[in-house]
Amino acid sequence: MYEGAVQDLIDELGRLPGIGPKSAQRIAFHILEADKDDMQRLAESIQTVKDKVHFCEVCFNVTEQDRCAICRDDRRDETVLCVVEESKDVMVIERTRSFRGKYHVLGGSINPMAGIGPEQLHIRELLTRLSDDRLQEVIIATDPNLEGEATATYLARTLKTLGIQVTRLASGLPVGGDLEYADEVTLGRAFEGRRSLIG
């Protein structure tokens, strides 16, 4: 539709997640009209990420070194390991400041429809890490959706015989939410997981 380079840029932008043809066009025109140095910085930051950032050799979190900042931090609790699907989940949990242990990033969740089985995830490496005697608990923090639950069930079954405590994050009503707007499955989970308030 447009001349060469502009259309190329619209095509490339349109391949990014969550960017439709209209957004791609708007962003392309923004790039066209923006300051050349700013756009050079954007292009370079894409190249730098591809050149310098890779996955931690221990936990598969993103890092610019061999091991990520959390794996390098001696003050973190070595007895608890939190298993998540993606690097971004590590950041989400870090922001809560309610976990001081270490992480293991699976690199996704079990999804047979997309051809992702246990062997496509970093589960073998997880099992190797579990041989560490200091480890007492594995918290499975995969997403509370179909694939995340399947992954949690698979991990629970695999880890059962190792003598380590395996826990799963609680499901229930979101804090600050409204009972009226909760879906039935979440409300059902909230009932199952109800806690005693007295004694």
User: For a copy of itself, what does the binding mask look like between residues 77 and 116, x meaning CB under 8 A?
Assistant: ---------xxx--x--xx---------------------
Nearer Cβ to a copy of itself (27/150): 27
* Least distance CB 149 / a copy of itself (angstroms): 22
Contacts of 164 (CB under 8 A, 6+ apart): 130, 135, 136, 137, 138
Told to check if 4 binds a copy of itself by CB under 8 A, we report yes
Q: Tell me if 142 sits within 8 A of 86, measured CB to CB.
A: no
Stretch of 18-26, 144-152, 179-187, 189-197 contacting a copy of itself, by CB under 8 A: 18-26
Task: Provide the CB-side half-sphere exposure for 172 (13 A, CA).
Answer: 11
Report the residue from 27, 130, 150, 166 that binds a copy of itself according to the rule CB under 8 A.
27
Tell which positions 123-182 bind a copy of itself, by CB under 8 A: none
| Phi, then psi, of 138 in degrees rounded to 5 | -115, 120
Q: How many residues lie near a copy of itself (CB under 8 A)?
A: 52
Distance between CA atoms of 77 and 136, rounded to whole angstroms? 11
Among 59, 60, 63, 102, binds a copy of itself (CB under 8 A): 63
- Contacts of 169-178 with CB under 8 Å at 24 or more apart are 169/139, 169/140, 169/141, 169/144, 171/144
In contact, 85 and 151? CB cutoff 8 Å: yes
Write out the residues near a copy of itself by the rule CB under 8 A: 1-6, 8-9, 11-13, 15-19, 23, 25-32, 36, 38-50, 52-53, 62-64, 68-69, 86-88, 91, 94-95
